[in-house]
Amino acid sequence: MLDLFFCSNMNHNLLIFLALFFVLFYEAINGFHDTANAVSTLIYTRAMSARIAVIISGIFNFLGVLLGGLTVAYAIVHLLPNDLLLNTTSTNALSMIFSILLAAIIWNLLTWYFCLPASSSHALIGAIIGVGLTHAIIIHASLLYAFNLPKITSVIISLIVSPIIGLIIAGSLIFFLRYYLNNNTKFHRIHMTPLEREKIDGKIKPPFLIKIALILSSIGVSYAHGANDGQKGIGLIMLVLIGIAPSNFLVDLHANKNDIFATKNALNNLEKYYLQKKINILNAQHNSKRLNNLIIKNIINTKLLLKTISNYNMLNIKQRFQLRHVLLSIANMIDQTENAAEINNAKDKYFLMQNKKILLKTIEYAPTWIILIIALSLSIGTMIGWKRIVITIGEKIGKKRMTYAQAMSAQITTSLSIGIASYTGIPVSTTHILSSSVAGTMLIDGDGIQLNTIKNIGLAWILTLPVSILLSGLLYWITCLII
């Protein structure tokens, strides 16, 4: 880590330090902005005290970052085109990163101040789009060059669709719980609110088994949040480091001989596969060239580059740029192959997926120190500033207080949805999924929702992308003028 500060002048070192500080600050804000997603249901069902709930949430957010992998992290990195990220000066890269982070931080703090459960993911992705668009305008380039359109499209679709899915699934869970447990003598209390439980049974705490279910589902939300949102912070730091210190971070310089051998072996396997298959797919970016001819050419060039290499430190800076670029190109072509009409069996798809994973292992990585500081920042943020959003989710979405069943259904839905999204590499909004899940349970139970709160949440949802796009674009334009 300290190597970052030994190869540059003092001003550059200061900028690197500030960039890393802003990433960690963003992640801490993300922690206390989204803590309510995991603890509000525990607090309002009296399953656990606020202090203990927040501490447990912080611990499992930490574990989620450590164990959650890197698929979402690199979904964030790849929102900016590879060429844009690699063909820029370190000063310009820092301007991009500062603009992205400041825009996301400003919007997150504003929505937190007004007690709105807005999406940190929306803000971050909008900020990335804004910087890409502004950069393209400044250099008079095509707007298609501004960002990775397929990645942006899939991410935005997931951000829009996931809350709707959350509402439907949570509502369905409540429906089934009503159907099966409403008249059950043992579990009918699951449909009580804490106040009803106190009035009827004279007890403050939920029944033991229901309490355990609430705690476990809350832990699931915290862990899933760490695995998804924590990876966004990891992706941001890798954006910073690839942009300002590419010689050290374009490829994993600590990759061992076995990793490099596995990369070479995957290239050999893919070359044989494409020579045999002769898949005829037109690539729009390369006129009428067949995809398999192009990918074979890239594979051969990469094999020549790595022929005598047993350690990536043997590559010069130009070769590291070339290796990163060509491996990402091959991975993108594999994605196109998987969608081809000729590839219609599970065996071929599995073969391609596994070899793609091996190819990307030494360029889609993160040093352990990055994962640890992001995990620490998110977990510390989780333990502070949580109360404002908790009140909104706990009191202002439904007209009545949450029942145990509603809380549990919303949390199970949220943890499963985010867990699946993290595994597949899709950045989603924990806040929107949980808020919509709570609303879905209230609607199905017939308790009604507070329309003013829903309107405010919806307005924040609609405004987050355009505001963060405009804000980051304006900040980037100003920094370019100053620099």
Given a contact cutoff of 8 angstroms between Cβ atoms, the answer to whether 82 and 324 are in contact is: yes
- Inside any domain, residue 161: yes
Looking at the structure, do residues 256 and 195 belong to the same domain, yes or no? no
Report the chain's mean pLDDT, rounded to a whole number. 82
What angle (nearest 5°) sits at the alpha carbon of residue 282, between those of residues 277 and 285? 130
Q: What are phi and psi of 365, to 5 degrees?
A: -140, 170
**Mean pLDDT, range 341-361, rounded to an integer:** 83
On whether both 224 and 260 belong to a single domain, the answer is no
Residue 4 lies in a domain: no
Which DSSP string do the residues of 334-390 spell out, in sequence order? HHHHHTSTT--SHHHHHHHHHHHHHHHTTTS---HHHHHHHHHHHHHHHTSS-HHHH
- Position 82 scores a pLDDT of 65
Residue 12 pLDDT grade (very low, low, confident, very high; cuts 50, 70, 90): low
359 pLDDT above the threshold of 90: yes
My answer on whether 144 and 283 are in the same domain is no
Quick one: 422 exposed, middle or buried, by C-beta within 10 A (0-12, 13-18, 19+)? Answer: buried
Of the residues 327, 360, 393, the one at which a domain ends? 360
What is the phi-psi region of residue 251: left when phi exceeds 0, alpha when psi lies from -120 to 50, beta otherwise?
Answer: beta
Indicate if 381 and 440 belong to the same structural domain: yes
Is the separation of the CB atoms in 206 and 417 below 8 Å?
no
Query: What confidence score (pLDDT) does residue 267 get?
Result: 94
Question: Which tokens hold the place of 109?
Answer: 């703090």
Count other C-beta atoms under 10 Å from residue 138's C-beta.
14
Domain extent for 319: 251-360
What are the tokens at 176?
A: 């089934």
Residue 340: band (very low, low, confident or very high) from pLDDT cuts 50, 70, 90 = low
Helix residue spans in 139-203 (DSSP H):
149-181, 194-201
* pLDDT tens-place string over residues 93-135: 778 888 888 998 898 888 877 777 677 778 888 898 898 888 8
Radius of gyration for the alpha carbons in the chain, expressed in angstroms and rounded: 24
Are residues 190 and 327 both part of a single domain?
no
* pLDDT given at position 286: 43
Task: Indicate the number of domains in the chain.
Answer: 2
| Percent of the chain at pLDDT exceeding 90 | 18
Closest CA to 124 of 109, 147, 102: 102
User: 143-191 pLDDT, tens per residue?
Assistant: 766 667 777 777 778 878 888 888 899 889 888 888 777 776 666 778 8
Q: Specify if 3 maps to a domain.
A: no
Structural domain includes residue 1: no
Cα–Cα distance, 404 to 271 (Å, whole number):
56
> CA-based angle 215:216:220, to the nearest 5?
115
Same domain, yes or no: 81 and 111: yes
In this structure, the answer to whether residues 16 and 144 fall within a common structural domain is: yes
Residue 342: which pLDDT band, with cuts at 50, 70 and 90? low
Asked, for residue 2, whether it belongs to a domain, the answer is: no
Q: Say if 6 falls within a structural domain.
A: no
- The answer to whether residues 222 and 126 belong to one domain is yes
Same domain, 275 and 378: no
- 425-483 pLDDT per residue, tens: 777 887 778 888 888 888 887 767 777 777 877 787 788 889 999 999 999 998 888 76
Q: Among the three residues 328, 360, 392, which one is the final residue of a domain in this structure?
A: 360
Is residue 399 within 8 Å of residue 449, measured between CB atoms? yes
Name, in order, each residue with C-beta under 8 angstroms of 330's C-beta and a sequence gap of 6 or more.
270, 295, 298, 299, 302, 356, 359
Residue 46 included in any domain: yes
Summarised one tens digit per residue, pLDDT across range 263-298 is: 999 999 999 888 887 655 544 344 434 667 788 889
Supply the DSSP symbol for 207.
P
When pLDDT is cut at 50, 70 and 90, the band that residue 73 belongs to is confident
Of 45-59, 74-88, 106-120, where does mean pLDDT reach its minimum?
74-88
> Of 360, 387, 411, which residue sits at a domain end?
360
